[in-house]
Amino acid sequence: MRIYGFLAKKVGDLTIKYSNFPESYVKRSYEQVYWKNPSNYPQYPKAQVARKHYRFTTNRPWTSQFRMQNDRNMHRKKVFVEPVGEWSFFKGDRVEIMVGKDKGKQGLVTQVIQERNWVIVEGLNTHLRVVGKDEKNKFPGITIQSEAPLLVTKDVKLVDPETLKPTEFEWRYTEEGDKVRVSLASSRIIPIPKTAEETIDFKSKELYIENVDKDTTGDAAVKITFAPKLRTFEMDIMEEMGIKEDREPAKSFWY
Amino acid sequence: MNTAMISTLLRSTITRCLRVQNVAKIIGSATTRRDIHTTTPANDLMEFFDKKKNWGETNIRVGRPWKLDELRLKSNTDLHKLWYVLLKERNMLYTMEHECNDKMRLFPNPERIDKVQESMNNIETVIRERNVAYYQLETGETGERPVEDVVNLFGLREKYEKKEYYIPRFMNTRWVRPYLENGFITSAAVKKFYRLYKEKEYNVERKAKNKDFRHVQHLLKRFPDMSMETLKAEYPNVDIEKAKRSRKARGHFMPKY
């Protein structure tokens, strides 16, 4: 009933995957809960007072910029995001731009912002931005090129690997049962690039450098030490630690 | 725990402890153990704090939490040890977070708490799975705390978690049944409450449905070429044909018909 509102999923899966954080952390880092009833007390209903609407932009939900943009007294107009169903644009994809001053140019996707149906294409669809301007010290600031996001529904199209032309595509299954994107122009598979699994912490899973103090080594993590026995966890641990227990528990009643 | 006391300790105590916090050191102890071990670890209060070299750090990057499938490979003893490693780590993280807040510093990588907690939850799940398997094989029951579907005193359906008592129910005069017998709602007060509660529940649902309908109208206005299957999948309770016919769904253009 009342919990529906905050059960709704707001942050996209790809964002969470890219952040490499547990979902619970992403949630608690961007949520603004002003009041929450104590949990596990029967007299309190499960209710909370929290910010309901967040403006998602190119700033990632766990950053301080996001927090500043969604400050407590900041309320901005609702943004309507077209439902796209299954997400099909990944980091490293080659896309062609269909609108704007870079119309017809091809580039690689560098960022995916699923909450707004946006992708950012490397070096394309840019505008000039002045940063670090200081009136007092008469510093004119530095002008940089900044990429603007593009809508995946209208502004970009995936590039066919054979014809190198923009194409429509479809999700299909291969005979091995893998789900792939298939170009409708040439029926070729458009592979999901390796860069799609890039996160903040590492380029790919194999390249992650373990923290020697804190992390378990990969070999130790996959080592099989489990041998099935007809015992509960407690019985096993008691035997391991040499705890003998011969007392019979008294008869008890559950109601 | 007294924070001031800990702060003084932090300043005065010379760190002598040699903390065994690495899971690898415990699970893969055969590979990392030294042959001659001369000092005994000093298990003092400083174990609640991180290693001194991590104190000023701004970024302490760690790996991902343990997955269920990985934990299923581990023996009960390993899980037992891992639990205490994680428990100590979680205590350490909470202490460091508290201390950082106290000293107005930024606590580096707070997601570590969530990672440790997720691992601990996964350990609990795996152990529960193993115990349930044992009890089902031996007794045909799960061995979990019994739960009953009841109707509570407000006339609402509820899961009642039974408790353990040393005397049977008929002898226990102090036990008051916290739910209605047979699920019958006989009292006028309960009936009235239930009717009003249902009305409130219905209104919440109605408002949510109307909100979705209005949202779909706006979507249709803004994205007239949108795929209707995706829209239907996203909003299954909305009558899209009705929304299309409405005035609100029409954009600022001449109708096509």
Cβ contact A216–B63 (<8 Å): yes
Q: Which residue of A has its CA nearest to B198?
A: A1
- Please name the helix (run of DSSP H) or strand (run of DSSP E) that holds residue A53, with its range, or none: none
Asked if B146 is an interface residue toward chain A (Cβ–Cβ < 8 A), one would say yes
- The residues, any chain, with a CB within 8 Å of residue A1's CB and separated by 6 or more, are B201, B204
Which of B76, B80, B139 to probe the A interface (max A CBs under 10 A)?
B76
Confidence of residue B147 (pLDDT cuts 50, 70, 90): very high
Confidence of residue B234 (pLDDT cuts 50, 70, 90): very high
Nearest to A231 among B66, B134, B231 (CB): B134
pLDDT, residue B257, reads 58
Residues of B in contact with A237 (CB under 8 A): 76-77, 80
Nearest to B223 among A82, A210, A214 (CB): A82
pLDDT tens-place string over residues A196-225: 999 998 898 888 888 888 999 989 999 999
Cβ contact A85–B223 (<8 Å): no
Q: Average pLDDT of A16-30?
A: 94
pLDDT tens-place string over residues B173-220: 999 888 887 666 778 999 999 999 999 999 999 999 999 999 999 999
CB A10 within 8 A of CB A21: no
Whole-number Å distance between alpha carbons of A26 and A6: 14
For chain B, the domains span 3-138, 147-184, 187-257
- Decide if the complex's ipTM is over 0.90: no
Tokens 């205590």 label which residue?
Answer: B91
**Residue B18 phi, psi (nearest 5):** -115, 100
Residues of B in contact with A254 (CB under 8 A): 146, 162-165
Cβ contact A83–B168 (<8 Å): no
For chain A, the domains span 4-69
**Closest by CA position to B55, among listed B91, B8, B99:** B99
**Closest by CA position to B23, among listed A220, A222, A224, A236:** A220
